[in-house]
Structure 1
Protein backbone atom coordinates (compact mmCIF):
# COMPACT_ATOMS: atom_id res chain seq x y z
CA UNK A 1 0.00 0.00 0.00
CA UNK A 2 1.00 3.61 -0.53
CA UNK A 3 0.70 5.99 2.41
CA UNK A 4 1.05 9.77 2.27
CA UNK A 5 1.65 11.95 5.30
CA UNK A 6 1.67 15.65 5.93
CA UNK A 7 4.32 16.53 8.54
CA UNK A 8 3.46 19.61 10.60
CA UNK A 9 0.63 19.02 13.07
CA UNK A 10 0.08 15.59 11.60
CA UNK A 11 3.28 13.73 12.54
CA UNK A 12 4.88 16.37 14.75
CA UNK A 13 3.34 18.74 17.30
CA UNK A 14 4.53 21.94 15.59
CA UNK A 15 1.84 24.41 16.70
CA UNK A 16 2.24 23.57 20.37
CA UNK A 17 6.02 23.69 20.01
CA UNK A 18 5.73 27.15 18.40
CA UNK A 19 3.32 28.21 21.14
CA UNK A 20 5.96 27.50 23.80
CA UNK A 21 8.53 29.43 21.76
CA UNK A 22 6.14 32.39 21.53
CA UNK A 23 5.61 32.35 25.30
CA UNK A 24 9.37 32.46 25.80
CA UNK A 25 10.16 35.07 23.14
CA UNK A 26 7.31 37.37 24.15
CA UNK A 27 7.89 36.81 27.88
CA UNK A 28 4.27 35.71 28.35
CA UNK A 29 2.54 33.02 30.37
CA UNK A 30 -0.32 32.09 28.05
CA UNK A 31 -1.65 28.76 29.31
CA UNK A 32 -1.76 25.51 27.38
CA UNK A 33 -5.53 25.49 28.01
CA UNK A 34 -5.80 28.79 26.11
CA UNK A 35 -3.71 27.30 23.30
CA UNK A 36 -6.08 24.34 22.99
CA UNK A 37 -8.99 26.73 22.47
CA UNK A 38 -7.46 28.35 19.36
CA UNK A 39 -9.75 27.30 16.52
CA UNK A 40 -7.53 28.33 13.64
CA UNK A 41 -4.08 27.24 12.46
CA UNK A 42 -2.45 30.52 13.45
CA UNK A 43 -1.49 30.75 17.13
CA UNK A 44 -0.82 34.46 17.68
CA UNK A 45 -4.19 35.75 18.96
CA UNK A 46 -3.78 34.77 22.66
CA UNK A 47 -0.53 36.75 22.64
CA UNK A 48 -2.37 39.93 21.59
CA UNK A 49 -0.79 40.02 18.13
CA UNK A 50 -2.58 41.14 14.98
CA UNK A 51 -2.59 38.83 11.96
CA UNK A 52 0.28 40.81 10.43
CA UNK A 53 2.28 40.78 13.68
CA UNK A 54 1.57 37.06 14.06
CA UNK A 55 2.71 36.33 10.52
CA UNK A 56 5.88 38.36 11.08
CA UNK A 57 6.54 36.54 14.37
CA UNK A 58 6.09 33.15 12.69
CA UNK A 59 8.45 34.02 9.83
CA UNK A 60 11.09 35.44 12.19
CA UNK A 61 10.91 32.29 14.32
CA UNK A 62 10.87 29.62 11.57
CA UNK A 63 14.40 28.33 12.19
CA UNK A 64 13.70 27.82 15.87
CA UNK A 65 10.22 26.40 15.27
CA UNK A 66 11.33 23.95 12.59
CA UNK A 67 14.70 22.78 13.83
CA UNK A 68 14.81 22.74 17.61
CA UNK A 69 13.18 20.16 19.83
CA UNK A 70 9.70 19.88 18.31
CA UNK A 71 8.37 16.49 19.39
CA UNK A 72 6.72 13.93 17.16
CA UNK A 73 3.25 12.94 18.33
CA UNK A 74 3.37 9.88 20.60
CA UNK A 75 3.68 6.67 18.57
CA UNK A 76 3.99 8.47 15.20
CA UNK A 77 7.59 7.36 14.57
CA UNK A 78 6.88 3.80 15.68
CA UNK A 79 3.74 3.58 13.54
CA UNK A 80 5.57 4.68 10.39
CA UNK A 81 8.44 2.33 11.19
CA UNK A 82 5.90 -0.49 11.45
CA UNK A 83 4.47 0.46 8.04
CA UNK A 84 7.98 0.50 6.54
CA UNK A 85 8.82 -2.92 8.03
CA UNK A 86 5.66 -4.28 6.39
CA UNK A 87 7.02 -3.00 3.02
CA UNK A 88 4.44 -0.26 2.57
CA UNK A 89 5.51 2.79 0.59
CA UNK A 90 5.68 5.94 2.73
CA UNK A 91 5.51 9.40 1.17
CA UNK A 92 5.92 12.72 2.97
CA UNK A 93 4.18 15.71 1.39
CA UNK A 94 4.77 19.01 3.19
CA UNK A 95 4.15 22.66 2.45
CA UNK A 96 7.37 23.61 4.22
CA UNK A 97 9.31 26.11 2.11
CA UNK A 98 11.89 24.80 -0.35
CA UNK A 99 14.79 26.31 1.60
CA UNK A 100 13.85 24.16 4.62
CA UNK A 101 13.17 20.90 2.77
CA UNK A 102 16.50 19.09 2.95
CA UNK A 103 17.11 20.08 6.57
CA UNK A 104 13.59 18.93 7.44
CA UNK A 105 14.26 15.57 5.82
CA UNK A 106 17.53 15.16 7.73
CA UNK A 107 15.92 16.31 10.99
CA UNK A 108 13.08 13.79 10.58
CA UNK A 109 15.52 10.98 9.81
CA UNK A 110 17.32 11.84 13.04
CA UNK A 111 13.99 11.52 14.88
CA UNK A 112 13.68 7.99 13.48
CA UNK A 113 11.08 8.48 10.75
CA UNK A 114 11.66 5.99 7.90
CA UNK A 115 12.44 8.19 4.90
CA UNK A 116 13.29 7.29 1.33
CA UNK A 117 14.72 10.49 -0.20
CA UNK A 118 12.78 9.94 -3.44
CA UNK A 119 9.50 9.91 -1.48
CA UNK A 120 9.95 13.21 0.34
CA UNK A 121 8.14 16.18 -1.25
CA UNK A 122 8.41 19.80 -0.07
CA UNK A 123 8.48 23.41 -1.25
CA UNK A 124 4.85 23.78 -2.25
CA UNK A 125 1.80 25.60 -0.95
CA UNK A 126 -1.06 23.61 0.55
CA UNK A 127 -3.10 23.95 -2.64
CA UNK A 128 -0.14 22.65 -4.68
CA UNK A 129 0.13 19.51 -2.54
CA UNK A 130 -3.03 18.22 -4.22
CA UNK A 131 -1.33 17.65 -7.57
CA UNK A 132 1.51 15.71 -5.92
CA UNK A 133 -0.90 13.60 -3.89
CA UNK A 134 -2.98 12.76 -6.97
CA UNK A 135 0.11 11.91 -9.04
CA UNK A 136 1.36 9.46 -6.39
CA UNK A 137 -1.87 7.38 -6.50
CA UNK A 138 -1.87 6.96 -2.75
CA UNK A 139 -4.11 4.49 -0.97
CA UNK A 140 -4.18 6.55 2.25
CA UNK A 141 -3.43 10.19 2.97
CA UNK A 142 -3.29 11.89 6.39
CA UNK A 143 -3.33 15.68 6.94
CA UNK A 144 -4.56 18.17 9.54
CA UNK A 145 -5.95 20.83 7.22
CA UNK A 146 -9.55 20.53 6.04
CA UNK A 147 -8.90 22.54 2.86
CA UNK A 148 -6.32 19.99 1.69
CA UNK A 149 -8.51 16.98 2.42
CA UNK A 150 -11.64 18.55 0.94
CA UNK A 151 -9.92 18.94 -2.44
CA UNK A 152 -9.20 15.18 -2.45
CA UNK A 153 -12.67 13.94 -1.58
CA UNK A 154 -13.46 12.78 -5.12
CA UNK A 155 -10.20 10.85 -5.44
CA UNK A 156 -9.96 7.08 -4.90
CA UNK A 157 -7.98 7.53 -1.68
CA UNK A 158 -8.86 6.95 1.97
CA UNK A 159 -8.43 10.21 3.83
CA UNK A 160 -7.71 10.71 7.52
CA UNK A 161 -7.80 14.01 9.36
CA UNK A 162 -5.37 14.46 12.24
CA UNK A 163 -7.48 15.77 15.09
CA UNK A 164 -6.79 19.45 15.82
CA UNK A 165 -8.81 22.23 17.50
CA UNK A 166 -9.12 24.08 14.18
CA UNK A 167 -10.67 21.19 12.25
CA UNK A 168 -13.47 20.18 14.63
CA UNK A 169 -16.24 21.48 12.36
CA UNK A 170 -15.35 18.87 9.73
CA UNK A 171 -17.12 15.64 10.54
CA UNK A 172 -17.15 13.63 7.31
CA UNK A 173 -13.50 12.49 7.30
CA UNK A 174 -12.01 9.64 9.26
CA UNK A 175 -10.44 11.27 12.31
CA UNK A 176 -7.12 10.24 13.80
CA UNK A 177 -6.73 11.18 17.46
CA UNK A 178 -3.91 8.83 18.43
CA UNK A 179 -1.11 7.31 16.33
CA UNK A 180 -1.26 4.15 18.42
CA UNK A 181 -4.68 3.45 16.84
CA UNK A 182 -3.62 4.03 13.25
CA UNK A 183 -2.88 0.41 12.27
CA UNK A 184 -6.36 -0.69 13.46
CA UNK A 185 -7.99 2.22 11.66
CA UNK A 186 -6.39 1.43 8.32
CA UNK A 187 -7.32 -2.26 8.62
CA UNK A 188 -10.96 -1.18 8.99
CA UNK A 189 -10.72 1.04 5.88
CA UNK A 190 -8.54 -1.04 3.58
Structure 2
Protein backbone atom coordinates (compact mmCIF):
# COMPACT_ATOMS: atom_id res chain seq x y z
CA UNK A 1 0.00 0.00 0.00
CA UNK A 2 0.98 3.61 -0.49
CA UNK A 3 0.95 5.97 2.49
CA UNK A 4 1.32 9.74 2.24
CA UNK A 5 2.20 12.05 5.10
CA UNK A 6 2.30 15.77 5.56
CA UNK A 7 5.23 16.77 7.79
CA UNK A 8 4.47 19.90 9.81
CA UNK A 9 1.97 19.29 12.61
CA UNK A 10 1.32 15.82 11.28
CA UNK A 11 4.63 14.04 11.92
CA UNK A 12 6.41 16.79 13.84
CA UNK A 13 5.08 19.20 16.44
CA UNK A 14 6.08 22.31 14.49
CA UNK A 15 3.53 24.88 15.71
CA UNK A 16 4.24 24.15 19.37
CA UNK A 17 7.97 24.29 18.64
CA UNK A 18 7.48 27.68 16.92
CA UNK A 19 5.34 28.86 19.85
CA UNK A 20 8.22 28.17 22.23
CA UNK A 21 10.65 29.98 19.93
CA UNK A 22 8.28 32.98 19.78
CA UNK A 23 8.18 33.05 23.58
CA UNK A 24 12.00 33.17 23.74
CA UNK A 25 12.48 35.68 20.92
CA UNK A 26 9.72 38.01 22.17
CA UNK A 27 10.76 37.59 25.81
CA UNK A 28 7.29 36.33 26.74
CA UNK A 29 6.03 33.50 28.89
CA UNK A 30 2.70 32.64 27.29
CA UNK A 31 1.51 29.24 28.47
CA UNK A 32 0.84 26.20 26.35
CA UNK A 33 -2.78 26.39 27.54
CA UNK A 34 -3.11 29.51 25.35
CA UNK A 35 -1.49 27.63 22.46
CA UNK A 36 -3.81 24.65 22.88
CA UNK A 37 -6.86 26.92 22.88
CA UNK A 38 -6.05 28.48 19.48
CA UNK A 39 -8.66 27.61 16.86
CA UNK A 40 -6.59 28.75 13.89
CA UNK A 41 -3.31 27.49 12.47
CA UNK A 42 -1.61 30.84 13.06
CA UNK A 43 0.04 31.36 16.43
CA UNK A 44 0.60 35.11 16.12
CA UNK A 45 -2.63 36.11 17.87
CA UNK A 46 -1.44 34.56 21.14
CA UNK A 47 1.39 37.09 21.11
CA UNK A 48 -0.77 40.11 20.24
CA UNK A 49 0.59 40.25 16.68
CA UNK A 50 -1.35 41.01 13.54
CA UNK A 51 -1.34 38.44 10.75
CA UNK A 52 1.22 40.55 8.86
CA UNK A 53 3.47 40.92 11.93
CA UNK A 54 3.16 37.20 12.62
CA UNK A 55 4.07 36.38 9.02
CA UNK A 56 7.18 38.55 9.20
CA UNK A 57 8.23 37.00 12.49
CA UNK A 58 7.70 33.46 11.15
CA UNK A 59 9.76 34.28 8.06
CA UNK A 60 12.57 35.79 10.13
CA UNK A 61 12.68 32.70 12.37
CA UNK A 62 12.02 30.06 9.71
CA UNK A 63 15.45 28.42 9.92
CA UNK A 64 15.18 28.14 13.72
CA UNK A 65 11.66 26.76 13.41
CA UNK A 66 12.28 24.28 10.59
CA UNK A 67 15.83 23.07 11.21
CA UNK A 68 16.47 23.03 14.92
CA UNK A 69 15.30 20.49 17.47
CA UNK A 70 11.60 20.25 16.63
CA UNK A 71 10.26 17.08 18.17
CA UNK A 72 8.47 14.42 16.14
CA UNK A 73 5.18 13.32 17.60
CA UNK A 74 5.67 10.21 19.75
CA UNK A 75 5.88 7.00 17.69
CA UNK A 76 5.77 8.81 14.30
CA UNK A 77 9.24 7.68 13.20
CA UNK A 78 8.76 4.15 14.48
CA UNK A 79 5.41 3.77 12.70
CA UNK A 80 6.86 4.94 9.38
CA UNK A 81 9.82 2.57 9.76
CA UNK A 82 7.42 -0.28 10.48
CA UNK A 83 5.35 0.55 7.40
CA UNK A 84 8.49 0.44 5.24
CA UNK A 85 9.61 -2.81 6.94
CA UNK A 86 6.24 -4.36 6.06
CA UNK A 87 6.77 -3.45 2.40
CA UNK A 88 4.55 -0.38 2.18
CA UNK A 89 5.58 2.78 0.36
CA UNK A 90 5.89 5.96 2.44
CA UNK A 91 5.68 9.38 0.76
CA UNK A 92 6.22 12.82 2.28
CA UNK A 93 4.18 15.66 0.80
CA UNK A 94 4.80 19.10 2.30
CA UNK A 95 3.78 22.56 1.19
CA UNK A 96 6.95 24.10 2.62
CA UNK A 97 8.43 26.59 0.14
CA UNK A 98 10.47 25.07 -2.70
CA UNK A 99 13.72 26.59 -1.42
CA UNK A 100 13.40 24.34 1.65
CA UNK A 101 13.22 21.08 -0.30
CA UNK A 102 16.76 19.77 0.15
CA UNK A 103 17.19 20.97 3.74
CA UNK A 104 13.81 19.54 4.77
CA UNK A 105 14.59 16.15 3.23
CA UNK A 106 18.03 16.17 4.90
CA UNK A 107 16.45 17.13 8.25
CA UNK A 108 14.03 14.20 8.00
CA UNK A 109 16.89 11.77 7.30
CA UNK A 110 19.05 13.21 10.10
CA UNK A 111 16.12 12.87 12.49
CA UNK A 112 15.57 9.20 11.73
CA UNK A 113 12.66 9.23 9.29
CA UNK A 114 12.79 6.66 6.47
CA UNK A 115 13.16 8.69 3.26
CA UNK A 116 13.43 6.87 -0.07
CA UNK A 117 14.58 8.62 -3.24
CA UNK A 118 11.58 9.81 -5.25
CA UNK A 119 9.19 9.66 -2.27
CA UNK A 120 9.63 13.27 -1.11
CA UNK A 121 7.57 16.18 -2.47
CA UNK A 122 8.04 19.77 -1.37
CA UNK A 123 7.30 23.29 -2.55
CA UNK A 124 3.74 23.29 -3.79
CA UNK A 125 0.46 25.03 -3.04
CA UNK A 126 -2.35 23.20 -1.28
CA UNK A 127 -4.05 22.64 -4.64
CA UNK A 128 -0.88 21.17 -6.13
CA UNK A 129 -0.51 19.00 -3.05
CA UNK A 130 -3.88 17.41 -3.80
CA UNK A 131 -2.81 16.79 -7.41
CA UNK A 132 0.34 15.00 -6.20
CA UNK A 133 -1.73 12.85 -3.84
CA UNK A 134 -3.99 11.95 -6.75
CA UNK A 135 -1.11 11.27 -9.17
CA UNK A 136 0.63 8.98 -6.67
CA UNK A 137 -2.61 7.00 -6.23
CA UNK A 138 -2.12 6.89 -2.48
CA UNK A 139 -4.18 4.46 -0.46
CA UNK A 140 -3.90 6.53 2.74
CA UNK A 141 -3.03 10.16 3.40
CA UNK A 142 -2.46 11.93 6.73
CA UNK A 143 -2.52 15.71 7.21
CA UNK A 144 -3.55 18.33 9.75
CA UNK A 145 -4.59 21.10 7.40
CA UNK A 146 -8.31 21.56 6.79
CA UNK A 147 -7.82 23.19 3.35
CA UNK A 148 -6.03 20.11 2.05
CA UNK A 149 -8.18 17.47 3.72
CA UNK A 150 -11.47 19.07 2.64
CA UNK A 151 -10.45 18.80 -1.02
CA UNK A 152 -9.62 15.09 -0.87
CA UNK A 153 -13.22 13.88 -0.59
CA UNK A 154 -13.46 13.37 -4.36
CA UNK A 155 -10.39 11.11 -4.45
CA UNK A 156 -10.28 7.39 -3.66
CA UNK A 157 -7.59 7.98 -0.99
CA UNK A 158 -8.55 7.25 2.63
CA UNK A 159 -7.77 10.56 4.38
CA UNK A 160 -7.01 10.86 8.07
CA UNK A 161 -6.72 14.07 10.05
CA UNK A 162 -3.92 14.47 12.60
CA UNK A 163 -5.90 15.82 15.51
CA UNK A 164 -5.11 19.48 16.23
CA UNK A 165 -7.06 22.27 17.92
CA UNK A 166 -7.78 24.05 14.60
CA UNK A 167 -9.23 21.07 12.71
CA UNK A 168 -11.94 19.88 15.11
CA UNK A 169 -14.69 20.69 12.60
CA UNK A 170 -13.47 18.05 10.13
CA UNK A 171 -15.59 14.93 9.97
CA UNK A 172 -12.80 12.49 9.08
CA UNK A 173 -11.11 9.62 10.85
CA UNK A 174 -8.62 11.05 13.37
CA UNK A 175 -5.20 10.10 14.54
CA UNK A 176 -4.71 11.50 18.03
CA UNK A 177 -1.48 9.59 18.56
CA UNK A 178 0.63 7.64 16.10
CA UNK A 179 0.59 4.45 18.12
CA UNK A 180 -3.13 4.10 17.36
CA UNK A 181 -2.43 3.77 13.62
CA UNK A 182 -2.21 -0.04 13.72
CA UNK A 183 -5.60 -0.30 15.36
CA UNK A 184 -7.15 2.18 12.91
CA UNK A 185 -5.80 0.45 9.81
CA UNK A 186 -5.83 -3.14 11.06
CA UNK A 187 -2.47 -3.82 9.38
Q: Smaller-chain TM-score range?
A: over 0.9
Distance, in Å, in 2 between the alignment partners of 1:46 and 1:147 is 22
Give unmatched runs, 5+ long, in structure 1. none
1:41 is aligned to 41
Q: CA deviation at 1:127?
A: 2.1
Q: Within 5 Å, which residues of 2 pair with 1:140-179?
A: 140-170=140-170, 172-179=171-178
Count of residue correspondences: 187
- SS state of the match for residue 92, structure 2? strand
- SS state of the match for residue 118, structure 1? coil
2:21 is aligned to 21
Residues 3-37 of structure 1: per-residue CA shift (max 9 Å, x gap): 00000000000000000000000000000100000
Q: CA deviation at 1:101?
A: 0.9
- SS state of the match for residue 91, structure 2? strand
Residues 113-165 of structure 1: per-residue CA shift (max 9 Å, x gap): 11012110001112210110000000000000111011110111111000000
Q: CA deviation at 1:63?
A: 0.5
1:56 is aligned to 56
Q: After TM superposition, what 4+ stretches of structure 1 lie above 4 angstroms from structure 2?
A: none
2:180 is aligned to 181
- SS state of the match for residue 153, structure 1? helix
Residues 78-120 of structure 1: per-residue CA shift (max 9 Å, x gap): 0000000001000000001111111111111111111012110
- SS state of the match for residue 118, structure 2? helix
Distance, in Å, in 2 between the alignment partners of 1:106 and 1:11 is 15
Distance, in Å, in 2 between the alignment partners of 1:39 and 1:97 is 24
RMSD over aligned CA atoms reads 0.9
Q: CA deviation at 1:67?
A: 0.2
- SS state of the match for residue 129, structure 1? helix
Scaled by the length of structure 2, the TM-score of the pair is 0.98
Task: After superposing the two structures, state which structure 1 stretch, 10-19 or 148-157, moved more.
Answer: 148-157
